[in-house]
Amino acid sequence: MNFSELKEQDQAYVLPTYARFDAGIASGKNARCQDFDGKQYIDFTSGIGVNSFGFCNDGWIAAVTEQLHKLQHISNLYYTAPCVQAARLLCEKTGMDKVFFSTSGAETNEGAIKAARKYSFSKYGAGRSNIVTLYNSFHGRTITTLAATGQDVFHQYFFPFTEGFTFAIPNNIEDTLDKLDDSVCAVMLELVQGEGGVMPLEKEYVQKVAAACREKDILLIDDEVQAGVGRTGSLYCFSQYGILPDIVTSAKGLGGGLPFGAILFNKKTAGALGKGDHATTFGGNPVASAGACYVLENMTDAFLQTVIEKGAYIHKKLSAMPHVKNVSGLGLMIGIDLEGVTVPAVLQAGLENGLLLLSAKHRVRMLPPLSITYEEIDEGLAILQKILNQIKAE
C-alpha cells in the first residue's frame, strides 16, 4: 500500500479526531525515521515523549521480545515477574513506597484522584473531596481529567464534567494558598506544564505549596506523565524541586513505546486504595512491564547527566537562532517562543525539510528521544536553522 492509499483508507475507517501531519512514518532507528516514500526525518518528538530510547532500540526490543516468548498476558489475579520487577525498580529509584500500574496518562491520573479522595474520606469523612489544580495545566482526556485540566478550551460539549476541581494561578502562592480551604483533599500539578507551553513552575512556589499541603494533610499529586522518566534530566522532576510528593503519576516514556503507566504512592498514601478499590485489565501487562524494566534499568545517573548536557547544548544553539525570543523547559523537554513567524508554519516547514517537531500552545515544542546522538541533534538543528533563516528572508 502506498501513502495515498493509506491516507484514503484512514479517511474511510479511522475517526478523524487527530489533526494529522501529511506524513506516514514507516520505520525508524533512534532519532531517525523514514516515511513510506523513503524520505528521511530527524525526530524531535519521540511519539510525544514516549520513545525514551528512540525508535527500535536493540536492548529494549530484546527485553520485550524475550518476555513475549514467555507470556504476553495474564490477569492481575496472578503474580508475574516483570510487573513486580518494574514496581521494585520504581520504588528503589524514587523513594516512593508502592506502585499501581495502568496503561495511559489519563487513566493514571484518574487513579491518583480516586486515591486522594479515598485517603481523605477514610480519614476525615465526606465533604473533603475537592482538588486544586493549576490554570494552564493538562491532565488528560477522560471526563474527570478534562475537569481537572485548567484550560477552559477543554471544558466544552461533554457536560456534565466531574465536580470538585478548582483552579489556582501558577506561581502565585497567595492565590494557591487561598484555594486550600477545608473542602480540599489534594493539589495536583505538573512541575513543568507540558501541553501548556513547556513552562516549568518556580521552585520556591512549589516548595511553599508542598509545605502548605503537608501542614494541612492535603495530598500533593505530581503529574509527571510528560516530565517524568528522565525527560528533564532526573528520573522524576520532583527531585530537582527538592520535594517528595504524596503521589506521582507516570506514563508516556515509562514503557519506552508500549502503553504503560504507574501511580507511585509514598508511605502516607500507600494504604489509600485496598482490595477491590481500583483495577485495570492491562495494568502491569508483562510485555509492557518488561519494556519499562529496560527503560528504568538504563536510566542511570550517567545517562541522566547526558540528558542535561544535551538539553543545555540544544538550548544554547536555539537561543542564537533567528526569530527565537525565548527558550523554556528542562533537560530534553524544550519550548521555543518565536516572533515574526507562526508555529504551524515552522512545523510544516520542518516536515517538508525532514524534521519532526511538536507544538504546545503558542510554542514549538521539542521532546527528542533521550538517546538522541549529537550528530542527530546537529542535523535536526541545522534543518531548523535553515527554516528560520529562510522565513526571515521572505
Which residue, among 121, 166, 118, 113, has the nearest Cα to 142 in the 3D structure?
113
Degrees to nearest 5, angle at CA 179 with 175 and 182: 155
Q: Quick check: 86 and 291 in contact, CB under 8 A? A: no
Nearer to ligand PLP, 105 or 311 (CB): 105
47 membership: H or E segment, kind and range: helix 46-49
- Smallest gap from residue 263 Cβ to ligand PLP (A): 12
**Contact footprint for ligand PLP (CB under 6 A):** 104-106, 109, 138-140, 190, 194-195, 223, 225-226, 251
End-to-end CA distance of the chain: 38
The whole-angstrom distance between residue 385's C-alpha and the CA centroid of its chain comes to 27
Nearer to ligand PLP, 110 or 376 (CB): 110
Nearer to ligand PLP, 55 or 138 (CB): 138
User: What is the rounded CA–CA span in Å between residue 364 and residue 383?
Assistant: 14
- Smallest gap from residue 331 Cβ to ligand PLP (A): 15
Q: Quick check: 249 and 109 in contact, CB under 8 A? A: yes
Q: Please spell the DSSP secondary structure of 60-126, one letter per residue.
A: HHHHHHHHHTT-S---TTS--HHHHHHHHHHHHHH---EEEEESSHHHHHHHHHHHHHHHHHHHH-T
Nearer to ligand PLP, 116 or 349 (CB): 116
- Smallest gap from residue 140 Cβ to ligand PLP (A): 4
Cell representation of residue 358: 511538536
Residue 219 DSSP class: E
- Smallest gap from residue 363 Cβ to ligand PLP (A): 14
Nearer to ligand PLP, 165 or 324 (CB): 165
Cell representation of residue 224: 509527571
Nearer to ligand PLP, 188 or 383 (CB): 188
- Smallest gap from residue 325 Cβ to ligand PLP (A): 24
Cell representation of residue 253: 516514556
User: What is the rounded CA–CA span in Å between residue 363 and residue 151?
Assistant: 16
Is residue 328 helix, strand or coil?
strand
Nearer to ligand PLP, 106 or 273 (CB): 106
Nearer to ligand PLP, 164 or 259 (CB): 259
User: What is the rounded CA–CA span in Å between residue 372 and residue 332?
Assistant: 10
Nearer to ligand PLP, 223 or 246 (CB): 223
- Smallest gap from residue 77 Cβ to ligand PLP (A): 25
- Smallest gap from residue 252 Cβ to ligand PLP (A): 6
- Smallest gap from residue 196 Cβ to ligand PLP (A): 9
Degrees to nearest 5, angle at CA 240 with 198 and 48: 35
Amino acid residing at 26: A
223's CB contacts (< 8 A; 6+ apart) are 105, 109, 112, 137, 139, 188, 189, 190, 249
The residue sitting closest to ligand PLP, measured at its beta carbon, is 105
The whole-angstrom distance between residue 298's C-alpha and the CA centroid of its chain comes to 18
Is residue 341 helix, strand or coil?
coil
User: What is the rounded CA–CA span in Å between residue 285 and residue 260?
Assistant: 8
- Smallest gap from residue 225 Cβ to ligand PLP (A): 3
Nearer to ligand PLP, 11 or 17 (CB): 17
- Smallest gap from residue 3 Cβ to ligand PLP (A): 26
